[in-house]
Structure 1
Amino acid sequence: MSSVISSMALPAHTPIPSGFSVYDKAFYNILGSAPTLEVIAQNSSFPFAHEASVYIPEKDELFLSSNIFTDPVTNESTIKISKVNVGANPVTSEIIDTNVSMANGGTNYKGGVLWTAQGTLNETGGVVLMSSSPPYGTHLFVGDYLGRPFNSLNDIVVAKDGAFWFTDPIYGWRQGIRPKPQLRQQVYRYDPSTQGIRVVADGFSRPNGISFSPDEKTVYITDTGETNGDGSKDALEPATIYAFDVSIIHGQPFLTNRRLFAVPGNGIPDGIKVDQYGNVYAGCKDGVNVWSAGGVLLGKVLVKGGTSNFSFGKNGSMFILNENRLYRAQLNPQYHGTLV
């Protein structure tokens, strides 16, 4: 449930700074007393700030994956991983050299970054752990589903029991970087302790972002089917956040009671995160949209051009990816994401 922290909230009559939009008074609690929004890094040469946004609190560093772009040296489609030192003044960033194949989403895992690697026409993708320190060594946990190659893994989250939950749409095939799919567009659960893998959900147009509620009784999954992946759009396809109950049946988790949680008014909901009170945040065409656990739109952190993904940092900070720009929003210091 959302928590009211009146001592940190803006009074309802207080003008809201540009960059924020309030739809419900509960959003004042999330904003805190002095919300701000600023650009902290930018790069006009390539879209460095597209996906992942994995914050390493021990180092105050952020790992990002770029959008696909044509490498000026190889003339091939590529994705680069950047490391941003958000604790530095000024903020510094660098491209790192690692063998993660076309990285997309990611999450914190044992001090490193757990990537969903999409793969290429000649290389399979999979779930890859990368060290957060040079030389950024990697370990492949799983690269296929019982012998059948994944489509192009998109986003991932780690449950409290250590299992990896991740999504697998066909965007890589639509973008010409992956072969024709051999699997439906599904959501998986992989247990690294047993190396067992299961399909836990299907029936999506394009399964994308994934996140748990704080008690892990609910899983939120975004379906971004409105954006096909080849540059075209279809307004009759989903731009939707679905919620599922996590039910334990015969000792194993199943996703039950699928229901529509929310639909943004502008664009698709891509990356998704949850704060400690159960409020749900999603990257959308106009910025980060925020809903209560009951599906009520509370407010927005407005970013021109929108965002595919974002992450929480320390003390109410939020890092928002905007292709060639990286933003930092300062919200209520008492709020934090469930991943930090």
Structure 2
Amino acid sequence: MQATHSILVETDAHEGLVYVPSQKRLYFTSVPDLEIENPQIAIRYYDFITGEVVTWKHRSNMANSMWLSNDGEHLLVAEQGKGATPGAISRRSLSGGQREVLVDAYKGKPFNSPNKVVQSPSGWIYFTDPDYGYNQGFKPEPMLTPAVYAFDPSTKKLIRLSAEYMMPHGLAISPIGNQIYIGDTAAIDGKNPYNPKKTKDIYVSALPSPEKLEEKQWVLSVPVGIPDGFIVTGPKNDLWVAAGDGLRHYRENGSLVNLYPVPGGVYSVATDGKAIYSSSNTAIWKTIPRGEEGG
């Protein structure tokens, strides 16, 4: 089978791609206009039944990434916050849209600007908290070091897993939950010009238990831009990475399988189990890998 790679729909999809099979919808967060005084980010979805893009929430506390909860009934949302309004990890009901804040501070200090969020099979929620919001001018000066956190929604236990990354950003969990992949993307800090000499890498660490992170191992570095959003799929932990030149497919060892080019690059990645979807700020792209590619 030959691969296909084309625009699914033209829309302002920036981050947060997540497919909800029960609704046949692909949710995403919109492109923020950071040049205006009161920037907002909407949550929208593409309806595979009608072919329409619908705005679900006009305001989202500057939501960035999203994840389908293990029960399939909620979206977990990494909210960056804005001004004095703190960032948070929230849970929104897919049936009614009701919002519940799960966690918004560490040891009494507000998060910087939560960026990516995932939930492991264990039920624990993992998220990154870089300082992009401050660097981009819509959050106050950080009170916390950029870090990766783990949160147990059943007990409300919050653990700072790691503060060793310069700019913890992209995040993915292996399908069986025993490994966590973390992007470090100081090459783009949200304030200064792109610096290819700084980190634009993905690392992996074993998770022997939900709240314990073992030593990180380098996996890959992208040649263009940064590894923004990424997902891990299949029994061999293939990585699908949003980068500055398009959608990149890697094996678990960091070897490149294929590049699906997108002008200007892509920012977020999701899958429905067959196709891979990526967002480019002006469109959502649909990629069906060739049969022998796997993943």
Q: TM-score, normalised by structure 1?
A: 0.81
* Residue aligned with 1:161, SS: coil
Distance 1:289 1:70 in 2: 28
The alpha-carbon deviation at position 243 of structure 1 amounts to 1.0
Aligned to 1:77: 39
Aligned to 1:13: none
1:199-248, Cα deviation, whole Å (9 max, x unpaired):
00111121111111223222110111100112522222100001111134
Instruction: Give the 3 Å change call, closer, same or farther, for CA 118–288 of structure 1 in structure 2.
Output: same
Instruction: Give the 3 Å change call, closer, same or farther, for CA 59–85 of structure 1 in structure 2.
Output: same
- Confirm or deny that 1:164 pairs with 2:125: yes
Q: Give the unaligned 5+ runs of structure 2.
A: none
- Confirm or deny that 1:116 pairs with 2:84: no
- Confirm or deny that 1:57 pairs with 2:21: yes
1:98-124, Cα deviation, whole Å (9 max, x unpaired):
653100011001322110000010211
Aligned to 1:128: 90
- Confirm or deny that 1:200 pairs with 2:164: no
Q: Give the unaligned 5+ runs of structure 1.
A: 1-32
User: Of the candidates 278, 281, 297, which is equivalent to residue 240 of structure 2?
Assistant: 281
Aligned to 1:29: none
Instruction: Give the 3 Å change call, closer, same or farther, for CA 114–98 of structure 1 in structure 2.
Output: farther
* Residue aligned with 1:253, SS: coil
The alpha-carbon deviation at position 196 of structure 1 amounts to 0.6
Aligned to 2:275: 317
Q: Percent identity?
A: 25
**Number of residue pairs aligned between Structure 1 and Structure 2:** 292
Distance 1:131 1:98 in 2: 16
* Residue aligned with 1:172, SS: helix
Aligned to 1:228: 189
The alpha-carbon deviation at position 87 of structure 1 amounts to 3.5
User: Of the candidates 81, 84, 102, which is equivalent to residue 62 of structure 2?
Assistant: 102
Moved more, 222-231 or 326-335: 326-335
Contact 2:275 2:288 (8 Å CA) reproduced: yes
1:310-338, Cα deviation, whole Å (9 max, x unpaired):
10014x1121101011111123589998x
* Residue aligned with 1:254, SS: coil
Contact 2:13 2:283 (8 Å CA) reproduced: yes
Distance 2:243 2:201 in 1: 11
Distance 2:31 2:139 in 1: 15
Over 4 Å off, 4+ runs: 332-337
- Confirm or deny that 1:292 pairs with 2:260: no
* Residue aligned with 1:69, SS: coil
Aligned to 1:302: 261
Instruction: Give the 3 Å change call, closer, same or farther, for CA 289–77 of structure 1 in structure 2.
Output: same
Contact 1:243 1:260 (8 Å CA) reproduced: yes
Instruction: Give the 3 Å change call, closer, same or farther, for CA 258–94 of structure 1 in structure 2.
Output: same
Structure number, greater radius of gyration: 1
Q: Which amino acid aligns with 2:277?
A: F
Distance 1:115 1:142 in 2: 11
1:42-101, Cα deviation, whole Å (9 max, x unpaired):
14xxxx2110101101111011112221598xx52121111111333xx21022236531
* Residue aligned with 1:256, SS: coil
Contact 1:41 1:326 (8 Å CA) reproduced: yes
Aligned to 2:9: 41
